[in-house]
Amino acid sequence: MKRIFNHPPAPTTGKKYWRSLEEYAATPEFRAKLEREFPQGAAELDGNEVTRRGFMQFMGASLALAGLSLTGCRRPELHIVPYSKGVEWQIPGNALHYATSMPRRGGAFPLIATSYNGRPTKLEGNPNVPGYNGSTDIFGQAAVLDLYDPDRSKSVLKALERGKDYEEGTWDDFWEEFAILRRDYLKNGGDGLAILAEPSTSPTRERLRVELKKQFPKLQWAEYEPWGASQALYHDLEKADVILSLDADFLGASEGNAQTIAGFAAGRRRLGKTQETMARLYCVEGRFSLTGGMADHRLRLPSSSILGVTTLIAQKLGAGSSGGFAAFSDPAIDTWVTEMVKDLSNAKGRSLVICGSQQPPQVHALVAQINETLGNKGVTVFPQFVPRLIEAGLSELSEQISQGTVKTLLVLGGNPAFNAPADLGFDGVLTQVEQVIRLGLHVDETSATCTTHIPAAHFLESWGDALDYRSTYLSQQPLILPLYDGISEIELLAALAGWPKAKGAEYIQETFASLTGIAASSGKPFDDAWHKFVHDGYYAGQLSFPIEGGLNGMMGMGSTMGLQKAADQQVKPLQPGEYELNFILASVDDGRYANNGWLQELPDPITKLTWDNALYVSPRTASTLGINIVPPNNNSADTLDTDFNPRTTDAFAAVDPMSAYPMVEITTPDGRKMELPIIVAPGQHDQTLTLALGYGRTAPALTKAARESVTPSLRVADKAGFNAYQLRTTTTPGFVTGVTIKKLDKTYPLAVTQEHNSMEGRGIVREASLDKNHSDPTWVQEIGIDKDVLQLNATGGVVKGLQHVEDGKMVDYQKYQPVYTPPPLYSPTNQPDRPAWGMVIDLNSCVGCGACMVACQAENNIPIVGKYQVLRGREMHWIRNDRYFASDNPPQELNTKADPAYLDDPQMLIQPMACQQCENAPCEPVCPVNATVHNEEGLNVMAYNRCIGTRYCANNCPYKTRRFNFFNYNDRPIQTVDITMPLIGKQSVGELYLGPLAGKNGPLTYKGSPDSIALQKNPNVTVRIRGVMEKCTYCVQRIEEAKIGQLRRSNNNDEGSGDISIPTDSFKVACQQVCPAEAIIFGNMNDENSKVTAAKKDERNYGVLAYLGTAPRTTYLGRVRNPNLAMPGAQYIGNTSIFEAPEKKGEEKPAGTDHASAHKLNREKLTV
Amino acid sequence: MANIFPKATNVIVIKASFVLSIVGLLAVIAVWYYFTPKYSRVGYQPVQPVAFQHDIHVGQLGLDCRYCHSYVEVSGHSNFPATQTCMNCHRQIQANNPKLKPIRDSWATGQPVAWVKIHNVPDYAYFNHSAHVNRGVSCVSCHGKVNEMTVVWQHESQSMGWCLQCHRNPENYVRPIAADKPGEQSPIYNLDWTAPPGKQGEIGRKLVHDWKINPPKDCAGCHR
């Protein structure tokens, strides 16, 4: 019998959970989209991918060629190529693991690299180094792709015509010239020589700097980092009971946040341990960040008001002098601040105040005083040891260049021509220098200003060392010889210092000897210590710092952008009607990862935007600008921006007009203008506009070969987003106030993934307040219709009091026919002697950083698909982070139009969603070829080779977690290229599989996917081609490896234990291993001691859509919020949809303090 | 009007369709067989760059399989020996044999010898040697009596159905790991070892029970 499950109607009162504005407003377009198996257009090949005529020609040519060679009919001769000499430790087929570290601006990050036959394939956190929990973040995960980036700089380039034409030079010539350069500058003490480097915590580089200063006393050493270069503090969030974030997105996916997320999540997990307390988070911010989403109380205020609020807090706390700044005075937020300050003072020594690095030094100084008053210094706040203060920044260097005192400039890494403050005009400044030598990973904007460009080595290709954020000394060892002939910064500086060329780690060994005090001449003690250092990845002993300049424990004065002195940084208060532009860093960081496809395609955690940046504005602001809040929010879909991509211009509009976003022009007070697409972001402050830096890279084609190439110089970063640095100046590094905004009659296509794979909101995410959790521990089971379904089965399907629409009128809800729900075939108890794999995701600690998505991509050979494919809903991520907003249901009459009043201040919930491994999996019975079946351990497995691509399974999956390879993404370009084909001529090729025509042996020299990318693939996972369905497998390759490893150990020559059961929690799946919050728990449910067994017993454990009888193996722990009951609006925090919203009568809350009140005051004034 | 076709043509259609269907069936069977691993793989015996003779090295000289395929017990992949392994002996023995020139060249230049692959498991199947040899599956079960082969050929079809024969009934194939008598070769690597007549079932069932052998029969066991 076909089982029809009519869901009861969603409650019309109380809270509503929604994933996008379309869903909130329930537009007809959204309904139509929801009911489709795939997003519109995903399953169709339209004329824009390739013309029909082109396709026929193409296929004809392919067939003719295939017929000529007849290679397909014969057994191809394959070869096995062993080593000629055995390689130490190397066992073909087995992985080796090496400790190394990734240099970062706030201190290096410890990593363990997995290497197969000499090629690193995966990076994991180093669990031995204290402070990280063995976790990584998105950048650590994606770094391995950067190593194999085919667009990396590959040779020395010498200018024929600076900025325009370059020729390839040789290393020998370069070194010869460099030796002459050194000799000349030795004569005059380095007069006219300058070095521009990125700040680094490498003691070896510091040693070199000191050495160079000795040899060249007049050398100018400048450092520049576009964002938060010298954060002088680090925080221990685990010890904090009350945390206040002042515009600090310490849970966002940016550098240095793995450790803060780990600490914060530990504070939230106290709930699980004691069932009593957990850390409480207050957040004051202008845009809706992940930190704001995790906050128990969130106050929307623009960044420029933070100084005033901080002053107010300092005054209320009596923290030192308030710095002479005017306190923010708004009676509306007075209660909020007063109660929050009370809470902070009650938690003296157990609290923490953090401010964002985009805030001016005045705020940092005030926050330092506040933390001192609260007794947090040395408990939750620690000074980060940096070797010294930066002696010169970009401004100083710029000045000297203008005065003509710099003759030769070495630019080590970075990309100042792209990311320098706009008012310096630094790319122009660079061209004034007679000789600029540039060491860079890519030929980029800065390379175009230099006289010589030399390729840099990736950190996985070079020796190095660095301190991490808590001054742990980390080693950095190469995993592979430089793929593209690059050298490291240390090697270049050592050559300048005249040090003998190192064969290996000599420079680092010398530093190690001096730092640890173990003399290199001591022989064995040194060798042992060194080997332990390299093996463990860090040095556990005490370090001495003989580095000149000593240490500056800069408590408090965490200078923000390293751009200028505190006095220059003006904070102008925001006038009504004015806007403030906030700069943030997104997944490409400051632009350095712009050519990394994994990071470009990683959706922004909140707006779900990929491949671009856009201006985020609040719904109310959008309304004021005359823009529809709900997409399609352009009123002129036919005027798509034609600059974007000639091939796709019409396609976007034809495929999905909802992807056409309106454009606006913003103007800063100093007259800088920029045209940008906008995204309406609920929860944003009305006067705050937010824009991510690092996009809009324009890589030049400098050589003849590059100009003739069919691909752009940076093929991933090309045309991705807009360069926000052109609005950023030395005096406004964090935010600009007084910005004006104007709507343009233009649109721009943005690839936003939010609605793809929507699930209707039926108790999918569940949350409660801490109080509710105490008074009613089983709350999680009473949400949604799980409880109803049980009752329904008992009462014959009639729900009392629930109504739904039938034939246009409301009738009692009784459609549901109770049917027999089969018992799960694969429940753990059915196979007690086998492991039963299961997963629990703790929504209470998950912050939504997205590291699991990148880790899954790296582990499981998941391809990137490109912007155009994402637009059509063909993205391939096996795990996605669903972001839900929660706000009050608007009254019925408003239900079809989004009222900005209800969107002002929603709450946010994040839920990672991958294949749920249902015990009664709906995907299995519909597969005509048994390609997806269950195994005895409860996995819903995919046999890719069996799959014929009917996509019935994806259609039948209630969780929408299956992904289909519409194309062979692993062998296909992500951008359109024009190639010349024999017989056919020039043809524009996009996503088309080039088949035997492409590659080395085909007549086309152009190949879809570069060879170097293939080196990254995990050899234990099949690389899928087109026409195959795929999904999360619980990392079955890791499971099998663990099982086989145990078999090997147990029975080898009858000497083993004979025990073939896998030791408890002895391995981790990729998303679990990376998670800094430890929110993902995976293991054997038939093992009583495993963590997952314990987690499944938690009262907050629930299965998504479990009432369908799917019996998912992945379950969730409900989210608990910890509101301070004395705060305004506290009773609205952590309410779930089943609870009746508290009666709002008789209590007027100040405007802007919560979502439930403001709209009542303002609804009449609004025109939507 | 007279009949154009004589009456006999009525039968011809029936006869022809009968014959054609048989021919068609035979053609299907022939093509079917032609494409099975039994036909297309078994007996594949390519010419190797070096005329290495397993019968001399293993059969006559008694080298253990693991002398050259040294990581078979610890890795999924049973490695081919590095040139270095050959040179261990052939620096002294047959040091000037012209047949060994590719080996000496490889040793001198560092360029590896490109051996021709005989047993090719598709990329989507993950066979693990260590999981088998440590659990009572001998080399001979999949590779045949290599110790008697002058030039190695593929002995078994190694198709999925063939794999499953053993995965479903391991007791018919597994053998003890420990040698019958101290000092003898392990039955796993002794390709001439056979169970006493009629005893395989008994030995196999005991091993399956004692070692808790439960080979995977689901997709994920081999396909990831």
Cβ A943–B219 below 8 Å, yes or no? yes
Residue A895 has pLDDT above 50, yes or no: no
Residue A1036 has pLDDT above 60, yes or no: yes
Between CA A303 and CA A460 the distance in angstroms is 38
Assign domain A156-229+389-552 to its CATH architecture: 3-Layer(aba) Sandwich (3.40)
Task: Determine the pLDDT at residue A1056.
Answer: 58
B138 located within any domain? yes
Q: Which residues of B touch A942 (CB under 8 A)?
A: 219
Residues B105 and B161 in one domain: no
Q: Measured between CB atoms, does B91 come within 8 Å of chain A?
A: no
| One domain, residues B99 and B126 | no
Interior angle at CA B112, CA B108 and CA B118, nearest 5: 145
pLDDT at position A805 over 60: no
| Position A20, amino acid | S
Q: Give the C-alpha distances (Å, rounded to integers) separating A560 from A236, A366, A998.
A: 20, 14, 50
Same domain membership, residue B181 and residue B163: yes
Q: Which residues of A fall within a CB distance of 8 Å from B106?
A: 84
What's the burial of A221, exposed, middle or buried (CB within 10 Å: 0-12/13-18/19+)?
buried
Residue A902: what pLDDT?
66
Q: Supply angle C-alpha A828, A831, A837, rounded to 5.
A: 45
Mean pLDDT of A802-829: 60
Q: A506-516 and A203-215 helices cross at what angle (nearest 10)?
A: 100
Name the DSSP letter for residue A948: -
Cα–Cα distance for residue pair A390/A395, rounded to 1 Å: 12
Q: For residue B77, what is the nearest residue in chain A, using CA coordinates?
A: A93
- Taking CA–CA distances from A1053, the nearest residue in chain B reads B177
CA-nearest residue to A1032 within chain B is B224
Contact A1053 B135 (CB under 8 A): no
Residues B102 and B212 in one domain: no
Give me the residues paired with residue A222 across strands: A196
In which band, very low, low, confident or very high, does the pLDDT at A20 lie, cut at 50, 70 and 90?
low
Measured between beta carbons, the chain A residues lying within 8 angstroms of B82 are: 82-86
User: What pLDDT sits at residue A646?
Assistant: 32
Those residues whose C-beta lies under 8 Å from the C-beta of residue B44, and which sit 6 or more positions away, are: A75, B118, B153, B154
Task: Please give the span between the terminal C-alpha atoms of chain A, in angstroms, as a whole number.
Answer: 47
> Is domain A15-41+765-972+1009-1119 in CATH 3.40.50.1820, yes or no?
no
Determine whether the interchain pair A936/B112 forms a contact, defined as Cβ–Cβ distance below 8 Å: no
CA-nearest residue of chain B to A90?
B71
For residue B211, the chain A residues in CB contact (below 8 A) are 1051, 1058, 1060
Nearest to B130 among A81, A939, A1044 (CB): A1044
A888 pLDDT more than 50: yes
- B33 occurs within a structural domain: yes
Residues of B within 8 A of A1033 (CB-CB) are: 220, 224
Q: Which residue has the tokens 């088998």?
A: B132
The residues near A775 (Cβ < 8 Å, ≥ 6 apart) are none
Residue A603: pLDDT band (50, 70, 90) is very high
Question: What is the spatial distance between Cα A298 and Cα A287, in angstroms, rounded to a whole number?
Answer: 11
Least confident of A62-66, A533-537, A600-604, A714-718: A62-66
Closest CB from A86, A1020, A1051 relative to B211: A1051
Domain span at B73: 16-79+119-224
Q: How many domains does chain B have?
A: 2
* A395-421 mean pLDDT: 90
The predicted structure's pLDDT at residue A860: 93
Q: Per residue in A717-743, pLDDT tens?
A: 888 889 999 998 888 888 888 899 988
Radius of gyration of chain A, Cα coordinates, nearest whole angstrom:
30
Regarding whether B125 and B92 lie in a shared domain, the answer is: no
For residues B149 and B163, membership in a common domain is answered with yes
Whether the pLDDT of residue A695 is over 60: the answer is yes
- Chain A closest-CA separation from residue B13 CA (Å): 36
Residues B100 and B201 in one domain: no
Q: What is the three-class DSSP state of A302? A: coil
Position A364 confidence tier, pLDDT thresholds 50, 70, 90: confident
Residue range A674-699: mean pLDDT, rounded: 90
Please tell me the predicted confidence (pLDDT) of residue A906.
Answer: 83
Burial A361-397 (b: 16+ CB within 10 A, else e): bbbbbbbbbbbbbbebbebbbbbbbbbeebebbbbeb
User: What's the pLDDT score for residue A645?
Assistant: 36
A351-355, strands of its sheet edge to edge: A297-300, A280-285, A242-246, A351-355
Nearest to A936 among B85, B128, B218 (CB): B218
% of chain A beyond a pLDDT of 70: 74
Residues B102, B30 share a domain: no
Would residue B8 count as lying in a domain? no
Give the per-residue pLDDT at A842. Answer: 93
* pLDDT by 10s per residue, chain B, length 224: 677 888 888 888 899 999 999 999 999 998 888 878 777 788 888 899 999 999 999 989 989 999 999 999 899 999 999 999 999 999 998 888 899 999 999 999 999 999 999 998 888 899 999 999 988 899 999 999 999 999 999 999 888 989 999 999 999 999 988 888 888 888 999 999 888 888 899 999 988 888 888 899 888 889 98
In 3D space, the residue among A333, A1069, A1102 whose CA is nearest the CA of residue A784 turns out to be A1102
Let me know: does A299 contact A283? Beta carbons within 8 Å: yes
Residue A1161: the pLDDT is 29
pLDDT 10s digits, A1081-1109: 999 998 889 999 999 988 888 888 877 77
Task: Report chain B residues whose CB lies below 8 A from the CB of A1035.
Answer: none
The SS3 assignment for B207 reads helix
**Chain position carrying tokens 């408890």:** A1064
Q: Taking 90 as the threshold, does the pLDDT of residue A1072 lie above it?
A: yes
Could you say which DSSP state residue A784 is in? T
Whole-prediction pTM value?
Answer: 0.87
- Shared domain check, B132 and B97: no
Q: Where in chain A is the domain with CATH 3.40.228.10?
A: 233-383
The pLDDT assigned to A200 comes to 85
B chain contacts of residue A943, beta-carbon cutoff 8 Å: 219, 223
B85, B117, B134: residue with CB nearest A1048:
B134
Q: Are residues B93 and B132 in the same domain?
A: no
DSSP-H helix ranges across A275-360:
290-294, 306-317, 331-346
Establish if B6 belongs to a structural domain. Answer: no
Residues of A in contact with B175 (CB under 8 A): none
In a domain, B9, yes or no: no
pLDDT above 60 (res A632): no
Task: Pick B207 or A5 by higher pLDDT.
Answer: B207
Selected residue with higher pLDDT from B163 and A1152: B163
Residue ranges matching CATH 2.40.40.20 in chain A: 570-752
Q: Please indicate whether, in this complex, the C-beta atoms of A945 and B124 are within 8 angstroms of each other.
A: yes
Using a CB-CB distance cutoff of 8 angstroms, which residues of chain A are in contact with residue B115? Answer: 79-82
CA end-to-end distance (rounded Å), chain B: 72
Residue A1168: pLDDT band (50, 70, 90) is: very low
A169-223 residue pLDDT tens: 999 999 999 999 999 999 998 899 999 998 888 889 988 998 999 999 999 998 8
Q: Is the bond into A632 cis (omega within 30 degrees of 0)?
A: yes
Where are the domain boundaries for CATH 3.30.70.20 in chain A? Answer: 15-41+765-972+1009-1119
Q: What is the pLDDT of residue A839?
A: 94
What digits encode the pLDDT tens for the residues A559-594? 333 434 444 445 667 777 889 999 999 999 888 999
Which residue in chain A has the smallest CA separation from B185? Answer: A1053
Q: Which has the higher per-residue pLDDT, B171 or A358?
A: B171
Q: pLDDT tens digit string along A260-307?
A: 899 898 888 878 666 567 889 999 998 999 999 999 999 998 888 888
pLDDT in tens, A517-539: 888 888 888 999 999 999 999 99
Place A801 in a pLDDT band, splitting at 50, 70 and 90.
low
B97 shares its domain with B188: no
CA angle B191, B195, B196 (to 5 degrees): 135
* pLDDT for residue A1082: 94
Distance CA A412, CA A486 (A): 13
DSSP labels, A431-448: HTSSEEEEEESB--TTGG
Least confident of A910-924, A988-1002, A1005-1019, A1032-1046: A988-1002
For residues A1110 and A958, the answer to whether their CB atoms sit within 8 Å is yes
Q: Which residues of A touch B111 (CB under 8 A)?
A: 84
- The reply to whether residue A92 touches residue B75, judged by beta carbons under 8 angstroms, is yes
- Test B117 with A79 for CB contact under 8 angstroms: yes
Q: What is the pLDDT of residues A337-352, one digit of tens each?
A: 888 999 999 888 889 9
**Range name among A172-181, A375-384, A649-658 with the lowest pLDDT average:** A649-658
DSSP string, A908-930: EEEEEE----BTT-TTTTT-TT-
Q: What pLDDT, on a 0 to 100 scale, did the predictor assign at position A803?
A: 56
Residue B49 lies in a domain: yes
**Count of other CB atoms within 10 angstroms of residue A895:** 15
pLDDT of residue B166: 93
- ipTM of the complex in this document: 0.88
Contacts of A1023 in chain B (CB under 8 A): 123
Distances in Å between the alpha carbon of A759 and those of A271, A766, A813, A889? Answer: 29, 14, 21, 18
Side chain identity at A258, as an amino acid letter?
A
**Residues in chain A closer than 8 A to B190 (CB atoms):** none
What band does A912 get if pLDDT is binned at 50, 70 and 90?
very high
B110 in reach of chain A (CB within 8 A): yes
CB contact under 8 A, B124 and A91: no
| Between residues A44 and B149, the one the model is more confident about | B149
- CATH T-level topology, domain A233-383: Dimethylsulfoxide Reductase; domain 2 (3.40.228)
Residues of chain A with CATH 3.40.50.740: 156-229+389-552
| pLDDT band at residue A1142 using 50, 70 and 90 as cut-offs | very low
* Whether B126 and A1040 lie within 8 Å, measured CB to CB: yes
Q: Mean of the pLDDT values across residues A308-317?
A: 87
Note whether B213 and B188 are same-domain residues. yes
Task: For chain A, give the mean pLDDT.
Answer: 79
In this predicted model, what pLDDT tens digit does every residue of A107-117 receive, in sequence order?
Answer: 889 999 999 98
B170 lies in some domain: yes
Give CATH for domain A570-752: 2.40.40.20
Whether residues A933 and B219 touch (CB distance < 8 A) is answered with yes
- Please give the single-letter amino acid code of residue A644: F
Q: Confidence band (pLDDT; 50, 70, 90) for A657?
A: low
Assigned domain for B61 exists: yes
B219 touches chain A (CB under 8 A): yes
pLDDT, mean of residues A961-977: 78
Contact A84 B80 (CB under 8 A): no
Q: How far is B157 from chain A (nearest CA, A)?
A: 14
Q: Enumerate residues 156 to 185 of chain B having a beta carbon within 8 A of any beta carbon in chain A.
A: 177-178
B46, B77, B124 member nearest A93 (Cβ): B77
Is A86 exposed, middle or buried, given 0-12, 13-18 or 19+ CB atoms closer than 10 A?
middle
